[in-house]
Chains A and B, each alone.
Chain A
């Protein structure tokens, strides 16, 4: 999973600020999944994207959260007006195809103060 790069590894934001989390998939991978892990809990699916398309966003909160995976550059998970409850580890995973195994990055740990 070292091939999936997430940055920053740690992010501290004050309530009301915006958080931008980046995920660079493994070389040759055009499919990206985002998951959120709250303390002491399992990972919860948020969104699945292919290049320039959102395929499944059934796990995304309806407000303040958005994701993109542009033709060039990393996938971005954006959280506007962060609240304390957004504090969590956010993981992305990438895959080479729709029906192939996904590999996880090391995560971004967001702390909202």
Chain B
């Protein structure tokens, strides 16, 4: 029940395409869902995050869609660029406690020039 399932494991898109990465969770106590971007040899960096009281959030070219009833959320990257090539992790936590995150297994995205 503590798992966050992430798919696909890897993704290749052409420049300008819209990669979509999906995550699903079981624990309804989760109330904070961030997405992290990680480049090789670097630490994860927060991209965008959402709480269950909204169904969509946009920041620049990144959009999170959230479906509370299905317990699913997804990341969309608009007009993707080669510089977006990285590994993306979704995560979940219960902020009534701490920011202890349960991470998904990651999606390795490659954007072709």
Contacts and interface: CB of A to CB of B under 8 A. Distances in A.
Contacts, number: 58
**B interface majority secondary structure:** loop
Interface string A87-100: 00001010100111
A42 interface: yes
A33 B100 contact: yes
Interface string B92-113: 0001101111111110000000
B60 interface: no
B110 to A, nearest CB: 15
Interface residues of A, number: 27
A106 B42 contact: yes
A43 interface: yes
Q: How large is the interface on B (under 10, 10 to 19, 20 to 34, 35 or more residues)?
A: 20 to 34
Given A55-B98, A98-B98, A99-B98, A44 B46 contact: no
A65 interface: no
Contacts of B36: 104
A101 B46 contact: yes
A56 B98 contact: yes
A7 to B, nearest CB: 13
A42 B105 contact: yes
B45 A45 contact: no
B106 A106 contact: no
Contacts of A48: 98, 100
A16 to B, nearest CB: 27
Contacts of A42: 6, 89, 103-106
B83 interface: no
A56 B102 CA distance: 14
Interface in B37-68: 41-46, 49
Interface of B: 6, 36, 41-46, 49, 89, 95-96, 98-106
Interface of A: 1, 4, 31, 33, 35, 40-45, 48, 55-56, 91, 93, 95, 98-107
